[in-house]
Each structure stands twice: as C-alpha cells, then as structure tokens.
Structure 1
Amino acid sequence: MESLIAALTLVVVGYIAGSVKIINEGNEGIVERLGQYRRSLKPGLNFVIPVFDTVLVETTREQVLDTDPQQAITRDNVPLTVDAVMYWKILDVQKAYYGVEDLESALTNLVVTALRGEIGQMDLRETVSGRNKINQALLHQLDEATESWGVKIMRVEVQEIAPSKTMLESLELERAAESKRKAAMSETESMVESIQRISRALQGQPNSQAVLQYLVAQKYVEANLKLSESDNSKIIFMDPKALTETIGELISTDQAELGNGNGNNL
C-alpha cells in the first residue's frame, strides 16, 4: 500500500513538474496540442498539459540580419556591389511561426530583392549620394511586406555601395583623359593669347608674319615633345599646310581688329 502511495505521489509530482513551463524575459512561447496551435505563452510561469502539449519558444528581442554583398545594377547600367543590415523583431509569435516557413531566409531574400529594386530606379550619382533615401525607402517597403509575418522592421542601413573593379578602372581612365583634355585646352589657349600679343607687338614690322609662323611652329614642336614623354599618349601631327593657314587667319584677324581700333581712335 505504501509503495502504491509513493508511486502515485511520484506520478503527481512528475505531472506537476512537467506542466510547469517558465518563459524567460525577451521570449514568448507557442503551445501546440496534438499538433494544433492552442495559445501563446508570455514571459513568466506558465502551465501546460504534459505529453499532449508541445512548447516552442521564440525570441522577441531585436535581431540583426546582415546580408552578404550583392550585385545590383543602376538605372544607367552601372554594376555595383551593395550590402545592407536590417534590424528587426517579432511582434506576433504566432504569425512569425506559422506565417512563413523559414523566417530569416525569407527576410534575407526580401531585403536583397528590395535593395536591388531600389538601386535599379536610381542612377550612379543618385545612388552614391542618396544613401539615407535608400534606407528610408527600404524601411517602408520591408515593414509593409513583413506585417503579415508578425515582424516589425526597426531600421535598415546600407553599409556599402561600391562600383565593380572594372567600373572603377574605367572611371579612373575617364578622369585621367578629362584632366589631359583640360590641360591641352589650357595650353592651347595660352599659346593663342601669346601669339596675339606678339602679333600686336610686331604690327607694322616687316616680315612679321614669318616671325609669327616660326614662333607658332616652335610651340607646336615643343607641345609634341611633351606629349611624346608619356607612355600612354598618342601623338597626332597637324598638317603643315593647315597650320600655316590657321596662323594666317589668326594674324589677319588680329591685324583687322587692330586696324579697326586705330580707325576708331582717329
């Protein structure tokens, strides 16, 4: 008899112990009874029916989802490498557990898709300078899309927006070419101004046109020698006849302007 009472006591104690479920702060639980959802458990002391009830625990703390670097293409067809971090938390454990099969995988795919779509609507300049705009657009899209999953998107931050290596090399070549073009234009303008000053100084002197032609030819040779010092430069020699005609037009124009000026002063 005593052994029976002891056995019953053990069964009762075991049943009570098995029915007690403590949920820690920052977590919530789901109770499934015979495979069906019954209720959610809040942090603290909870009671369930042993054997029949299964308890699944999910965290409700804020979590971080860091996506791997992804390839995206801007509106002007520039390939970029982009990376984003999303901060999120579960508000409704039931929806988060039953609404989608793999929550983190679904969130990752959603972030990547939204990020590529947002980048595709902007050109390169807008993308690089509009990081805050991208963050806000992603936050709005993702928060709305995950509402049915019981998830709240706290914030989204784009960490990296970088052109591909090939694009960086292409941009560097373009900048170098633009710099050389501006330098060549500046040198040409300086040479023209110098020739015009000399033309005015030689006004009325014999053989002035021959002197100017010699000076221009000398400048032309010096410029080509400078270009030849660069390994990447392509030297294009001007037709001597065209050079002479250009000099003649420049001198004639300058002399005509001086003549008109002298006439006005009379």
Structure 2
Amino acid sequence: MLQELVTAAVAVGVGGVAYLVAGARVVKQYERGVVFRLGRVVGDVRSPGFTTVIPAVDRLRKVNLQIVTMPIPAQEGITRDNVTVRVDAVVYFRVVDAAAAIVNVEDYRFAVSQMAQTSLRSIIGKSELDDLLSNREKLNEGLELMIDSPAIGWGVQIDRVEIKDVSLPESMKRSMARQAEADRERRARIINADAELQASKKLSEAAKEMSDQPAALQLRLLQTVVAVAAEKNSTLVLPFPVELLRFLEKAQQQPPPPPPAGP
C-alpha cells in the first residue's frame, strides 16, 4: 500500500512538472506576449521574463516591439507637371500596442507595406518634380502623416519616412543638364557685364581726376612704361602724345587759306 502511494505521488509530481514545463514560456526583453484562451484575449499583455499558460487551452503570441526598417519598392508615377518618375523610400515603424497589432489586422507588416506604397504613389501625383528633388523634408512629413493615420488603429506607430531616390528618364536628365549649363552661362555673362560696368565707372572717375591734374596722366604713362620694360626688356616704348594727333587732325580738316588778291 505504501509503495502504491509513493508511486502515485511520484506520478503526480512528474505530471505536475510536465504540466508546468508544457505551460512555461519566456518573453524576451524586446517582446510582449498576448494570450488567447479558447480564441479570446485574456488578461493583460505579458511583460518580458518568465510566464506560464494553460497547456492545450492557452496560446501565447509574441509581438516584436523593435523598430522595423521596411523599404518601399520603387513606385512609378506622373508628377503634377507631367514628368514620369520612379521613387523609392524607406519607412521606420514599431508596434506600440501588441494586442491591437494581433487582433485588429491580419498582418500588420503587410498592411504597413501596402499603405506605404499607396501613399507614395499619391504623393508623386500631388507633387511637382522640383519638390521631389529639392523639398523632400516636406514630402517626408506628408508621407508619414498619410501612413500613420490608419496605422494608429493597428497598434503601429510610424517613426519616420524617408524618400531615398528619384529616378528620371534619360531625356529629362539631358534636358536638365542643358538647362543648368545655360543658367550658369547666363550668370557668368551677368557677372562679366556687371564687372565691365563697374570698371567703366572707375575709369570715368580716373579720367576726370587726370583731366584736372595733367601731371597724373604723365605719371600713369611712366608707370605703364615701367611695367612693359619689366616684362620684356628688349621692347622699346616711345610715348606718343595723343594731343599731337588731334592737332594734326584738326589742321587737316581746316580749309586752305584763300589766295591773296591781285594788285
């Protein structure tokens, strides 16, 4: 009789240990556990650490709370100014409500991916090419808002959305290169013209000063001679006064004197 009791106690102990082992679960630090009992969510979300469930009755679903980096496949669309582009992006999100992520949506990763692709195509159609190329911060904010609005009901929070690359047709790239080159040439010509205008004003002021001080013109002439002699010592420079040329021109234009009258 005693042996049977010992055997029964051992059997019960072994069964209890087996039952405990079968119901033992470990939830990692970056996870949360949702327990389904006969198909219904029971209790609060299980925190990280050791926990137990009822074998054959409870089912524990673990949800990862780490930030997920999901690339959005390149989407082709036509911008508001009728330019065909291909745009790809990346979305960063994480689960903030484990129970809602399991109950409210079948596959929250797939749902976020499809919503991101749809929102990206919508952003392409509402934006112009210049906005896609130079105003990405504003587009990123709009794209994040479009994805985050429905994701709140899925227990998912969108942390950030970034547009990675904008691919243009080759013809558009060549047209933009020609436009940029023409714009650079226009700016260069404007700068040269502005420099010529400033130089002409300074030369006009210098001419006025030299006309008031004739010695200044002579000093400037001597400086020019020194500069030429420093570069090429074999060159002989003979300053020729411009006033003499003007005098000869005036003398040539004057009519000859009339012949003297006869006696």
* TM-score > 0.5, shorter chain as reference: yes
Aligned to 1:221: none
Find 2:120's aligned residue among 115, 118, 126: 115
Does residue 1:101 correspond to 2:95, yes or no?
Answer: no
Find 1:17's aligned residue among 12, 21, 26: 21
C-alpha distance in 1, partners of 2:134/2:118? 21
C-alpha distance in 2, partners of 1:67/1:37? 33
C-alpha distance in 1, partners of 2:170/2:60? 51
C-alpha distance in 2, partners of 1:145/1:9? 51
Q: Which runs of no fewer than 5 residues in structure 1 stay unpaired?
A: 187-266
C-alpha distance in 2, partners of 1:109/1:169? 34
Q: Is the 8 A contact 1:79 1:167 kept in 2?
A: no
* Deviation digits for residues 103-147 of structure 1 (CA, Å, limit 9, x no counterpart): 111111111111111121121112211111111111222222210
Aligned to 2:153: 148
* Deviation digits for residues 146-179 of structure 1 (CA, Å, limit 9, x no counterpart): 100000101111101121335335555x649x95
Q: Which runs of no fewer than 5 residues in structure 2 stay unpaired?
A: 190-263
C-alpha distance in 2, partners of 1:165/1:31? 55
Amino acid at match of 1:55: L
Structure label with greater radius of gyration: 2
Note the C-alpha offset of 1:83. Answer: 0.8
Amino acid at match of 2:15: V
C-alpha distance in 1, partners of 2:54/2:85? 55
Aligned to 2:76: 71
C-alpha distance in 1, partners of 2:107/2:28? 23
* Deviation digits for residues 44-90 of structure 1 (CA, Å, limit 9, x no counterpart): 22221111111111101111111122212210111111111111000
Partner of 1:142: helix, strand, or coil? Answer: helix
TM-score normalised to structure 1 length: 0.62
* Deviation digits for residues 199-255 of structure 1 (CA, Å, limit 9, x no counterpart): xxxxxxxxxxxxxxxxxxxxxxxxxxxxxxxxxxxxxxxxxxxxxxxxxxxxxxxxx
Pick closer, same or farther for the CA change 1:6–1:130 going to 2, 3 Å: same
Find 2:67's aligned residue among 62, 65, 72: 62
Aligned to 2:92: 87
Note the C-alpha offset of 1:5. Answer: 2.1
C-alpha distance in 1, partners of 2:172/2:104? 42
C-alpha distance in 2, partners of 1:25/1:107? 24
Q: Is the 8 A contact 2:26 2:49 kept in 1?
A: yes
C-alpha distance in 1, partners of 2:175/2:14? 79
C-alpha distance in 1, partners of 2:170/2:14? 71
Identity rate of aligned residues, in percent? 31
